[in-house]
Structures are given as structure tokens and as C-alpha cells.
């Protein structure tokens, strides 16, 4: 790593210690979802305990979750960055350069991935609701058809009942007339 690269090496925004050192004792690297500033895990957790609600120690931007919700819970507002614990190669320097030049890219990528996931979930819910709506529309159409058929059957039954009542009245009249004729013949 050249002197210029060492000068631009990512530093903890609290203790100014170098991050991403290729040895096992390197501090765990955390970054703020809200602004992308980098910290040693111990430094930022200590800062958040001592100064709750104060936001980023570098820019004072409030700590937010990936979804943008304000929170003081370190598990919800801080992300982890990992570097290999072996000797550095070209890919390590590229990673360091990317993080050093724009740690917000990581936040943007996470937000983009989260947005894609939320969009996919919303699309699945939308498709399920459309399928349910189609099912309900078909069921309602079947019920309306059954109601129409039942109404026609009911109207036919009422008409038949009227005809049968008229025939019954006619038969009663015929019976009374026959009984009257039979009674007059017996006299």
C-alpha cells in the first residue's frame, strides 16, 4: 500500500484508529446506516451508551434503521463491514478504496436490496389479492345466478300454487253442485 493510500486508509471516526488491518486483533468495523461513517465497534457502542439520542459523532445525523426509522438500538442502526484476516491482496485494496471513497454506497446498496425485497413482497401480496378478488367475483356471479334461478323457481311455484288453488276452488264448486243435485234427486 502506497503512502497516499495509507493517508486515505479508513479510520474510526471516534478514535481515529485504522480500520481493515489484516490481522485478527483489528477492531470490528461498524457503519451508520444513516450516514455511512465508520467506527470501531467498541468505540461506537461506548459512544451510544454515553450519549444516547445524540446521533452520529462525526456529523450528528440521527441514527436510523435501514428502513429510515429513528432508533437508539445499535443492532438496528449499525451495520457490520468485514475484511479478511489474511494478508492483503488487490481485492482488499479495492474494497478499502470503495469504503474510503463512499461508505454511503454500502448503505445505498442495502437500501436498494431492501427496497427490491419490499417491492417483491408487495407484488406477491398484490397478486394474491387479485386472485382472491377474481375468486370472490366468480363466487358472487355464481351466487347471483343461483339467486336468479331460485327466484324463477319461486315465481313458477307461486303461479302453480295459484292454478292449483283455482282448480281446487272449481272442484269444490263442482262438488257442492253435485252434492246439491244428489240431494235434490234423493228427495
Helices (H), 35-102: 41-50, 74-77, 90-101
Range of the domain at 54: 8-65
In whole angstroms, what is the distance from residue 114 CA to residue 79 CA?
14
Q: Give the pTM.
A: 0.37
- Is residue 36, in this structure, part of any structural domain at all? yes
In whole angstroms, what is the distance from residue 132 CA to residue 6 CA?
60
Residue 180 pLDDT greater than 70, yes or no: yes
Predicted pLDDT of residue 32:
72
The more confident residue out of 97 and 176 is 176
60: left (phi over 0), alpha (psi -120 to 50) or beta: left
CATH code at position 19? 3.30.40.10
Predicted pLDDT of residue 23:
53
pLDDT band at 8 (very low <50, low <70, confident <90, very high): low
- Is residue 147, in this structure, part of any structural domain at all? no
- Is residue 113, in this structure, part of any structural domain at all? no
Each residue of 57-105: pLDDT tens digit? 888 777 776 666 666 666 766 766 555 444 455 555 665 566 556 666 6
Task: Return the H-helix or E-strand segment holding 40.
Answer: strand 38-40
- Is residue 85, in this structure, part of any structural domain at all? no
Predicted pLDDT of residue 114:
86
> Cα angle vertex 175, ends 172, 179, to 5°?
140
- Is residue 32, in this structure, part of any structural domain at all? yes
- Is residue 37, in this structure, part of any structural domain at all? yes
- Is residue 91, in this structure, part of any structural domain at all? no
Predicted pLDDT of residue 69:
61
Domain count of the fold of the chain: 1
The more confident residue out of 7 and 151 is 151
Joined together, the cell numbers standing for residue 103 give 461508505
- Is residue 109, in this structure, part of any structural domain at all? no
Amino acid at each position: 500500500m502506497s503512502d497516499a493510500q495509507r493517508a486515505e486508509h479508513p479510520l474510526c471516526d471516534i478514535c481515529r484508529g485504522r480500520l481493515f488491518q489484516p490481522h485478527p486483533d483489528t477492531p470490528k468495523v461498524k457503519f451508520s446506516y444513516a450516514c455511512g461513517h465508520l467506527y470501531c465497534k467498541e468505540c461506537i457502542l461506548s459512544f451510544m451508551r454515553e450519549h444516547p439520542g445524540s446521533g452520529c459523532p462525526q456529523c450528528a445525523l440521527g441514527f436510523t434503521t435501514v428502513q429510515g426509522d429513528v432508533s437508539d438500538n445499535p443492532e438496528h442502526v449499525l451495520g457490520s463491514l468485514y475484511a479478511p484476516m489474511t494478508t492483503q491482496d488487490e481485492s482488499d485494496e479495492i474494497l478499502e478504496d470503495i469504503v474510503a471513497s463512499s461508505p454511503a454506497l454500502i448503505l445505498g446498496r442495502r437500501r436498494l436490496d431492501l427496497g427490491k425485497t419490499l417491492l417483491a413482497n408487495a407484488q406477491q401480496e398484490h397478486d394474491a389479492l387479485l386472485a382472491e378478488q377474481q375468486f370472490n367475483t366468480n363466487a358472487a356471479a355464481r351466487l347471483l345466478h343461483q339467486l336468479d334461478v331460485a327466484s324463477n323457481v319461486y315465481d313458477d311455484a307461486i303461479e302453480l300454487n295459484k292454478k292449483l288453488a283455482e282448480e281446487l276452488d272449481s272442484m269444490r264448486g263442482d262438488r257442492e253442485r253435485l252434492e246439491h243435485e244428489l240431494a235434490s234427486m234423493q228427495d
